[in-house]
Amino acid sequence: MSWMLGAGMGFLRGGPMGAVIGGALQHFLGKKLQQKIRKSLPGLDGEGVFVTCVAVVMTKIAMISGPVKPRSRIIIKNFFKKNLNYSDAELGFIDKVVDETQRVRPDLEPIVSQYCKVCRNHYTSLLLALAYQVALVEGDLTDDVQKELNRLAGFLKLSYELHDSLRDKYCLEALKTPYTILEIPSDATNIEIKNAYRQRVMQYHPDKAAHLGEEQAQEAHLKFLEIMEAYQELERVRGI
Q: Per residue in 81-114, pLDDT tens?
A: 888 888 888 888 888 888 888 888 888 998 999 8
Average pLDDT, the chain: 81
Q: Are residues 32 and 132 in the same domain?
A: yes
Q: Are residues 192 and 160 in the same domain?
A: no
- Determine the 3-state secondary structure of 15 from DSSP: coil
The last residue of one of the domains, among 169, 198, 229, is 169
Q: Among residues 61, 97, 63, 60, which one has the least CA distance to residue 77?
A: 97
- In which band, very low, low, confident or very high, does the pLDDT at 36 lie, cut at 50, 70 and 90? low
- In which band, very low, low, confident or very high, does the pLDDT at 7 lie, cut at 50, 70 and 90? very low
Cα separation of 223 and 200, whole Å? 9
CB 210 within 8 A of CB 203: no
Residues 190-206: what's their mean pLDDT?
Answer: 90
Residues 57-76: what's their mean pLDDT?
Answer: 94
Lowest-confidence segment of 25-39, 61-75, 170-184 by average pLDDT: 25-39
Q: Are residues 157 and 183 in the same domain?
A: no
Cα separation of 205 and 219, whole Å? 11
- Name 50's Cβ contacts closer than 8 Å, sequence gap at least 6: 37, 41, 44, 115, 118, 119
Q: Are residues 214 and 95 in the same domain?
A: no
- Determine the 3-state secondary structure of 16 from DSSP: coil
Question: How many structural domains compose the chain?
Answer: 2
Q: Among residues 165, 201, 206, 157, which one has the least CA distance to residue 183?
A: 201
| Domain CATH for 210 | 1.10.287.110
- Name 239's Cβ contacts closer than 8 Å, sequence gap at least 6: none
Which residue range(s) make up the domain with 218? 178-238
Q: Are residues 60 and 120 in the same domain?
A: yes
Q: Are residues 83 and 194 in the same domain?
A: no
The per-residue pLDDT for 68 is 94
Q: Are residues 186 and 164 in the same domain?
A: no
pLDDT of residue 236 exceeding 80, the answer is yes
Q: Are residues 18 and 123 in the same domain?
A: yes
CB 226 within 8 A of CB 196: no
| Domain CATH for 110 | 1.10.3680
Which long-range contacts link 20-28 to residues 24+ away (Cβ below 8 Å)?
21/48, 21/49, 21/52, 22/46, 22/48, 22/49, 24/48, 25/49, 25/51, 25/52, 28/1, 28/4, 28/93
Q: Are residues 147 and 211 in the same domain?
A: no
The last residue of one of the domains, among 146, 169, 192, is 169
Q: What is the pLDDT of residues 162-175, one digit of tens each?
A: 898 888 887 777 77
Q: Are residues 34 and 51 in the same domain?
A: yes
Q: Are residues 104 and 145 in the same domain?
A: yes
Cα separation of 68 and 120, whole Å? 29
pLDDT of residue 3 exceeding 80, the answer is no
Identify which has the larger pLDDT, 83 or 195. Answer: 195
What is the identity of the amino acid at 149?
Answer: L
